[in-house]
């Protein structure tokens, strides 16, 4: 005689039930987090528009002493933005000021990936345009220089 097994609910149904039952807790937290992010982004943009743009600073340039891109960034990109850029050298990050607007902008627009080297162009009352050079320099390392040159051209056209 076979033993009767109680019917088991699939794990997906249980997971969905837990998510739905806990939604009164996590949903307000998610909304609060998104509101906080939007408020932080708005304050950061406002600070950049008020403190940098009137001084003619509308670019954030981040690079490092990497042997792969340092010479190119200094010779080809820095001259494009030199007079209008706030410049951060990733290699010297331990000397950055903790409360620097440049550092806040770097952390916000750079995120956690492909942030070095990077150019961020700010325009009044518009979203910033971020150019991440790291993936292009990966191609450069394998002999394909076109992605880097394309980014440099895009930066120069936006300025």
Using one digit for the tens of pLDDT, what is the confidence trace for 111-159?
999 999 999 999 999 999 999 999 999 999 999 999 999 999 999 999 8
Please check the confidence at residue 62 and state whether its pLDDT lies above 80: yes
Nearest 5°: phi and psi at 59? -135, 140
Range 49-66 average pLDDT? 97
**4 within domain boundaries:** no
Mean local confidence (pLDDT), 2-25 = 74
Q: Give the total number of structural domains in the chain.
A: 1
- Determine, yes or no, domain membership for 111: yes
Q: What is the CATH number of the domain that holds 89?
A: 3.40.30
Q: Would you state the structure tokens that stand for residue 20, as one six-digit string? A: 């739905």
pTM for this entry: 0.82
The angle formed by the CA atoms of residues 107, 109 and 114, to the nearest 5 degrees, is: 85
* φ, ψ dihedrals at 19, nearest 5°: -60, -45
Percent of the chain scoring above 70 in pLDDT: 94
Q: What range defines the domain where residue 145 resides?
A: 49-158
């Amino acid at each position: 005689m076979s033993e009767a097994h109680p019917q088991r609910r699939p794990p997906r149904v249980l997971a969905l039930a837990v998510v739905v039952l806990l939604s009164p807790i996590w949903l307000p937290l998610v909304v609060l987090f998104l509101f906080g992010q939007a408020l932080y982004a708005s304050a950061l943009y406002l600070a950049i528009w008020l403190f940098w743009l009137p001084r003619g600073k509308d670019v954030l340039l981040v690079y490092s002493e990497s042997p792969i891109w340092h010479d190119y960034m200094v010779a080809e990109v820095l001259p494009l933005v030199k007079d209008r850029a706030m410049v951060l050298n990733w290699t010297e990050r331990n000397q950055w000021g903790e409360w620097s607007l440049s550092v806040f902008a770097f952390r916000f627009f750079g995120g956690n990936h492909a942030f070095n080297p990077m150019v961020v162009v700010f325009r009044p009352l518009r979203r910033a345009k971020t150019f991440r050079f790291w993936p292009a320099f990966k191609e450069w390392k394998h002999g394909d220089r076109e992605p880097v040159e394309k980014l440099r051209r895009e930066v120069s056209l936006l300025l």
